[in-house]
Amino acid sequence: MSTVNDLHPKAMDLAEEAFSHRRKGHEDKAKRLFLEALELEQAAALLLPVSKDSEPSRSILFRSAASLAYNAEDFDAAERLIAFGLSGYPPLEIRDELKNLYDDINFKHHLKAQGITLSTNQWLMSIYGNATSYGGTLVEPLMTRVDRITALFYRTVERMLGVEYRITGSSKKEIKDAYGLYLNAFAPSSFAVSFQIGAPSAQMELIDHKPIRQVGPDSVVDELMECLKLWETGKEDVLKERIENEIYYENFIGIAKQITPDGDDVKQVGFKTIRRGKERSLTLRKSRVRIREAQSDVRQLELQKPETLTFDGLLKFASTPQTKPYGTVHIIDVEGSHSVRVPIGLMKDVVQPYYEELVSVTAGRRGDYYYLEDIERQKAKN
Amino acid sequence: MSVPTLYLDKIQQVAKVSEGKAKKLMETCVWCLVSSKHANGVSLDVIDDTATVPYLLSWPKQLDFEAINRSVNQDDATEEGAEAIALLVAVDRTDFTAVERATTSTGIDYWLGYKDNLNNPFKRAGRLEISGILKESDTNTVKARTKTKLAQTLPSDSTFSVYVVIVEFSRPYATMVMKK
């Protein structure tokens, strides 16, 4: 009789082969291999009885089998395997991963967005979490993301047009006219809004009397999706090479962090476009909490560990010099006023939206100054 | 005291992977090292939060480099090459004795476990996150990659210990960070 140790490594070998074929674009072959791997992994998982002694292997194997079913796009099987995994005694984090996978499957259904047909100039953003319910959402998580996506869209347009990074003010009227961004009626399910990009009314040839590249609105959205994908998958070095300009890169990372899920209220943020009749979707799962934790863990590698502090207070005074790499903000709390330096690429789109609001700012100390690492609106205390 | 050696042809002794997979990991790793102009027996520093420990890297003398050049997928080579070193380093520098794999929605993840857990392979297991850099640059550093990997792992109240190993091939060196 086969043992877990016979079946599981074989399943993993097939899964590796399947992912390799998927990377090469051999989708049919990949799916066949995922199904073969699924059969072995499911058999391995089912060998373990429902008992505390079988853990964590039982739940890890069911999570693995459910992931294989998900990759083979057999979502019904994936749901059943998740239920098997949850029916035992999974450790907390495997239970969370099984639930996350269930959310992913649900989100796939949401992204199909029943009743919504996207045209090529439309772009869907969907959020999902405790802040959303069918047809409703808390205003703040949605509107913050709509606001940041709009900022990121125009920054991407300007970068692709070859326009110098704008430190203050909003995009030029010609750009806003040529790349009009509209928000369509909210759609229910997870909670989705679609952006619509107006067709350029006239081709722009000059900005600030300098010739510019011609950039189609669809290619702006495609670029944005590609950059978000690189960031989500941890390919920040490739992203940096793609964006080239340091301030645009800094700005992109700063805004992306604001769009990304923030824990339970928003667990997932998804995007979808249609190109040549094919759906392209992207789900952001990287959470801000994890990004902050990583910043602290990586300090193990630093000889001189910088001091990091969190300031909770009112954001006041924002100075944006035109010629220096950092702006300055003040955080006012019961102890007084704390000055924090902010990279120039984050001042306008990431920090200024919080002006005169209660914020939580994480800052690292270098020399005599504190430098911004993260900012978020203070959460209401229960 | 003699410098310990990591034998790239002994991956199967620690990782429960097929012979083919172990060979591929070894060959890809050798390709990364040779492309970075290193010879058999090159020294590799492993840096963790307590010390910098030197190792030697060894591979069989009779490898067919022409065949390796043809078969290596350069896009994936750095990651796979890093996996080969990380699996050996992780088992050598921890109490774990085996490497397991499991599927996630986006790929395969590695776990550290024990050889004797035959029917409960993930018992007392730890997670292993790996990444590779062919040549560090201003825009692509080991430190930044470590941060990215840590951000992809789970929150700090995790049931399992998490080890992040990043391998840089041009020097070469590796860092090993345990998520607290």
- From A10's Cα to the closest Cα of chain B, the distance in A is 8
Positions of CATH 1.25.40 in chain A: 4-110
pLDDT at B73: 78
pLDDT higher for A339 or A139?
A: A339
Query: Highest mean pLDDT range out of A51-55, A283-287, A347-351?
Result: A51-55
pLDDT at B122: 92
For residue B10, give the nearest of B77, B81, B59 by alpha carbon. B59
Q: Is the model's pLDDT at A367 over the cut of 60?
A: yes
Q: Is the model's pLDDT at A162 over the cut of 90?
A: no
Q: Do B125 and A300 touch (CB under 8 A)?
A: no
Closest-approach residue (CA) in chain B for A90 = B159
Q: What is the dotted CATH code of the domain comprising A4-110? A: 1.25.40
What is the average per-residue pLDDT within A339-355?
Answer: 88
What is the average per-residue pLDDT within A351-376?
Answer: 88
Q: Show residues of chain A in contact with B139, CB under 8 Å.
A: 237, 240-241
Closest-approach residue (CA) in chain A for B18 = A13
Q: Show residues of chain B in contact with A290, CB under 8 Å.
A: 150-155
pLDDT at A297: 57
Per the prediction, chain A carries an average pLDDT of: 83
- Give the residues of chain B that fall short of pLDDT 70: 1, 153-157, 180
Chain A and chain B share a number of CB contacts under 8 A equal to 154
Residue in A93, A237, A295 closest to B147 by CB: A295
Q: Helix or strand or coil: residue A164?
A: coil
Closest-approach residue (CA) in chain B for A69 = B105
Split at pLDDT 50, 70, 90, the class of A272 is: confident
Closest-approach residue (CA) in chain A for B49 = A300
Split at pLDDT 50, 70, 90, the class of A382 is: very low
Residue in A12, A290, A302 closest to B155 by CB: A290
Q: Do B103 and A101 touch (CB under 8 A)?
A: no
Q: Show residues of chain B in contact with A236, CB under 8 Å.
A: 144, 148
Q: Is the model's pLDDT at A301 over the cut of 70?
A: no
What CA–CA distance (Å, rounded) separates A292 from A290?
5
Split at pLDDT 50, 70, 90, the class of A100 is: confident
Tell which CATH classification among 2.60.120.10, 3.40.980.10, 1.10.10.60, 2.40.50.140 matches the domain A302-377. 2.40.50.140
Q: Show residues of chain B in contact with A41, CB under 8 Å.
A: 103
Q: Cα–Cα distances in Å, from B36 out to B66, B71, B177?
A: 16, 18, 24
Q: Is the model's pLDDT at A196 over the cut of 50?
A: yes
Which tokens belong to B124? Answer: 């007392």
Q: Cα–Cα distances in Å, from B91 out to A36, A44, B10, B97?
A: 30, 25, 12, 6
CB A321 within 8 A of CB A314: no
pLDDT higher for A364 or A216?
A: A364
Q: Helix or strand or coil: residue A92?
A: helix
Q: Do B139 and A8 touch (CB under 8 A)?
A: no
Q: Is the model's pLDDT at A325 over the cut of 90?
A: no
Closest-approach residue (CA) in chain A for B16 = A9
What is the average per-residue pLDDT within A106-127?
Answer: 66
Would you give the distance in Å from CA B149 to the centre of its chain? 14
Q: Choose, out of B52, B75, B101, B105, the residue to mutate when testing the contact with A (most A CBs < 10 Å).
A: B105
Query: Highest mean pLDDT range out of A109-113, A207-211, A246-250, A298-302?
Result: A246-250
pLDDT at A98: 93
Split at pLDDT 50, 70, 90, the class of A122 is: confident
pLDDT higher for A231 or A287?
A: A231
Query: Highest mean pLDDT range out of A210-214, A254-258, A269-273?
Result: A254-258
CB A295 within 8 A of CB B44: no
How does pLDDT run across A64-87, given as a tens digit for each residue?
999 999 999 898 999 999 999 999
pLDDT at A126: 77
pLDDT at A281: 81
Q: Do B103 and A64 touch (CB under 8 A)?
A: yes
Q: Choose, out of A61, A283, A291, A297, the residue to mutate when testing the contact with B (most B CBs < 10 Å).
A: A297
Q: Is the model's pLDDT at A25 over the cut of 70?
A: yes
**Amino acid identity, position A286:** K
What is the average per-residue pLDDT within A188-195?
Answer: 68
- From A296's Cα to the closest Cα of chain B, the distance in A is 9
Q: Do B16 and A5 touch (CB under 8 A)?
A: yes
- From A67's Cα to the closest Cα of chain B, the distance in A is 5
Q: Is the model's pLDDT at A114 over the cut of 50?
A: no
Would you give the distance in Å from CA A224 to the centre of its chain? 12
Positions of CATH 2.40.50.140 in chain A: 302-377
Closest-approach residue (CA) in chain A for B100 = A9
- CA atoms within 13 Å, Cβ hemisphere of A94: 30
What is the average per-residue pLDDT within A95-120?
Answer: 71
Kindly give, in sequence order, each residue whose CB lies less than 8 Å from that of residue B8, ignoring residues fewer than 6 positions away: B25, B26, B29, B30, B57, B58, B59, B84, B85, B88
